[in-house]
Amino acid sequence: MYNLLKGKKGIIFGALNSSSIAWKVAEKAYEEGAQFTLTNTPIALRFGELDELAKKCNAEIIPADATSVADIENVLKKSMEILGGPVDFILHSIGMSLNVRKGRTYDDLDYNFYMKTLDISGLSFHKVLQVARKLDAIKEWGSVVALSYIAAQRTLYGYNDMADAKSILESIARSFGYIYGRDKKVRINTVSQSPTKTTAGSGVKGFDGLIDFTERMSPLGNADADECADYCITLFSDLTKKVTMQNLYHDGGFSNMGMSLKAMRQYNKSFDDPEDISI
């Protein structure tokens, strides 16, 4: 513990269970001295697991569907009441695709589901920022982080319409980052995280193969949820005050790799005669 967030106040969206990245961020933020509120959808709250985290971190839970502007307004207003004023940090750790859940492929999307994916996983970030700005809910030099994935830049089999949502998410960080930075010194970044075993992560088609592939490709190996939380804490701390409008890869080096020895060895195993691969 470094007391990196001593005296800081925040809002954490998206802790579902103890595997969630947001859950780990909450635990670490608490250890680092922060005080915060937790929020998730009423359905997620019905699972009841969040109560355990709230108790542990001495945090209040405020239900909200992040696609609803009214719900977000309520979260921000209540959080300011509970925490005694504007906050220093917000974590947006939200993602969901009904197309992925229902097995609809990218060339056979249900468009109602598609709009929902974009709204939940992309536009909700804009809604949080717009409401925060209107309510003046983030202090000067505050920090906002949303979680992203490299499918925003590169095509990865099975990530489906979530890739489009992540592209929107990262673009919002840049567009709003300019405005909020210029006017209020608030910084806005996305963290592009390795595949991670969570409820949302495990829903991606071929997840086990993907996580093995990225582990072999990354010189430092995949980053896990705890390590992701550590990185988010640094971004909420005063040590990263001039970092904004960035998509920050937290992936063990995967994003800059083309082929690794470990991946090549595994790939060659799929051929009867590895010498024949050039034919």
Binding residues for ligand NAD, rule: CB under 6 A, are 14, 16, 20-22, 40-41, 44, 65-67, 93-96, 120, 147-149, 193, 195-196, 198-201
> In terms of CB distance, is 117 or 237 closer to ligand NAD?
117
The Cα–Cα gap between 81 and 70 comes to: 16
From the list 185, 193, 194, 192, the residue with the least C-alpha distance to 240 is 185
> In terms of CB distance, is 13 or 180 closer to ligand NAD?
13
Query: From the CB of 135, what's the least distance to ligand NAD, in Å?
Result: 18
> In terms of CB distance, is 2 or 228 closer to ligand NAD?
228
Asked if 191 and 238 count as a contact pair (C-beta separation under 8 A), the reply is no
From the list 216, 160, 227, 219, the residue with the least C-alpha distance to 191 is 227
Query: From the CB of 275, what's the least distance to ligand NAD, in Å?
Result: 36
Query: From the CB of 198, what's the least distance to ligand NAD, in Å?
Result: 3
Asked if 17 and 24 count as a contact pair (C-beta separation under 8 A), the reply is no
In which residue are the tokens 């300019």 written?
178
Neighbours of 164 (CB within 10 A): 20
> In terms of CB distance, is 67 or 237 closer to ligand NAD?
67
Give the nearest residue (CB) to ligand NAD. 201
Query: From the CB of 147, what's the least distance to ligand NAD, in Å?
Result: 3
> In terms of CB distance, is 13 or 84 closer to ligand NAD?
13
Query: From the CB of 172, what's the least distance to ligand NAD, in Å?
Result: 13
What letters, b where the CB count within 10 A reaches 16 and e where it falls short, cover 3-42? ebbeebbbbbbbbbeebbbbbbbbbbbbbbebbbbbbbbe
The Cα–Cα gap between 92 and 13 comes to: 5
Query: From the CB of 137, what's the least distance to ligand NAD, in Å?
Result: 17
Which residues 6+ apart lie within 8 Å of 55 measured at CB?
none
> In terms of CB distance, is 32 or 251 closer to ligand NAD?
251
